[in-house]
Amino acid sequence: MPIGVWMGLKVFQELPVEIIQILIGSFILFSLIIQQIGRNRNKDFPYWGFFPLGLITGALNMLVGVIAPILGVLVIRKELSKEAIVGTLGFFGFIGNLLKIIGFTIVGFSFMKYSLAIICVIPSGIIGTYVGRVGLSKLNEKYFLILFRIVLIILAIKLITIDGLKLHKLI
């Protein structure tokens, strides 16, 4: 991921964010469909694939800040419980945001101007974590995966239509 953050800062700054959002949404839908076809059904994403995935998500994180939907499709594994899936995504999100802070600081972005907003976000994050944990504990494992995939589909469609096409004036 750190190399991907550097790539995102250096290489992909010229690409329109809307195009990247359309590509991300398309990737999510494509990945969800591929997982349900023939011999791909019930196959896990190979562990070796997480290295190139880290490069890609690190770069995308710097551009659009949307890596959880991509990772969400790929971290679903037979041996992981719903708590492990959510925890894994949370950890990736933490690392991604930490690297993003470091990257933006290196290029001279000042967070002090936004310190009040940052301080206000902290209680929301704590409350959201608590509410999410309570909700997750009450949700059946089977229904969690169905709901998780539905949320990923909704996010992908939003990325393509609202964030990508509409803002890019293609609709």
Q: Are 92 and 142 in contact (CB under 8 A)?
A: no
User: Rounded mean pLDDT of 68-93?
Assistant: 82
Task: Note if the pTM is more than 0.75.
Answer: no
Distance, CA of 39 to CA of 7 (rounded, Å): 34
Q: Is the pLDDT of residue 170 over 70?
A: no
Distance, CA of 69 to CA of 21 (rounded, Å): 11
User: Rounded mean pLDDT of 7-24?
Assistant: 72
How many Cα neighbours within 13 Å face the side chain of 1?
19
Residue 156 CB coordination number (10 Å)? 23
Residue type present at position 144: F
Tokens of 30: 């494509």
Which parts of 107-167 fold into alpha helices (H)? 115-138, 141-158
Q: Report pLDDT digits (tens) over 105-160.
A: 887 888 888 889 989 989 998 999 899 999 999 999 889 888 988 988 998 898 88
Q: Are 151 and 17 in contact (CB under 8 A)?
A: no
Residue, of 50 and 170, whose pLDDT is higher? 50
